[in-house]
Chain A
Amino acid sequence: DIQMTQSPSSLSASVGDRVTISCRTSQSVSNYLNWYRQKPGKAPELLVYAASRLQSGVPSRFSGSGSGTDFTLTISSLQPEDFATYYCQHSYKGPLTFGGGTKVETK
């Protein structure tokens, strides 16, 4: 099975900050990598699919990059609603798996 490692597991930031979250896979997943945001007490929301394609309706401050085994989610200017937990997920082969999550907290 493909293992997913997100880093950091948590970070502290302020509104307006640029935030970068990393996801590394144990083997290449090509660009079969998606990103989600989960606000407290809510269901996850798809932000980015296929590594870099922004899901419809998602603000342009979100962007994804990478291919193979190393991927990045960037929030260009953190907004109050972005204090949440972020997950990466692959769908390359074998069981679909999520990363362990990155919690973005208020500094």
Chain B
Amino acid sequence: DVQLVESGGQLIQPGGSLRLSCGASGFTFNSHEMNWVRQAPGKGLEWVSYISSSGSTTVYADSVKGRFTISRDNARNSLYLQMNYLRAEDTALYYCARGLVVIPADLVAFDAWGQGTMVTVSS
């Protein structure tokens, strides 16, 4: 079975840094693009970042550009999100989401999700 397990979320002060991890199993990790999507408490979904299957291409939402860095280790079947200069508005449940392999290849859909890890930014 496809499994995505996020970890690393915690309560952190504004301006702090945090690294989220997502462990993948049950599929060929290096064949899939990966994403981070977040959801603030009681709110809708917000896409955060994308990384290509090789890791050579990354894209960020404007709200996190310059503060967050997405990366992956295909040998370890792991996805990461380095979060710096955290703000109160970054408080959310962070999901790791697998990209659907589809034609056309530039269509991005999220066909598997983890259960999320909670990040709370507060003093």
Contact = CB atoms under 8 A, between A and B. Distances in A.
Contacts of A46: 100, 109-111
Given A32-B107, A95-B61, A98-B47, A44 B113 contact: yes
Contacts of A49: 100, 102, 107, 109, 111
B55 interface: no
Interface string A5-33: 00000000000000000000000000010
A36 interface: yes
Interface in A62-107: 87, 89, 91, 95-101
Q: Chain B binding site: helix, strand, loop or mixed by DSSP?
A: loop
Nearest to B4: A43
Contacts of B116: 43
B45 A44 contact: yes
B50 interface: yes
A98 B100 contact: no
Given A50-B102, A95-B61, A43 B44 contact: no
Contacts of A36: 45, 110
A45 B44 CA distance: 14
B111 A95 contact: no
10 cross-chain pairs, A with B, having the tightest CB-CB distances, nearest first? A91-B108, A43-B113, A49-B109, A96-B47, A34-B109, A98-B45, A101-B44, A46-B111, A95-B61, A32-B107
5 contacts: A36-B110, A44-B45, A44-B110, A91-B106, A96-B50
Given A44-B45, A99-B44, A101-B45, 12 more contacts: A44-B110, A46-B110, A46-B111, A49-B100, A49-B102, A50-B102, A91-B109, A95-B59, A96-B50, A96-B108, A98-B45, A98-B46
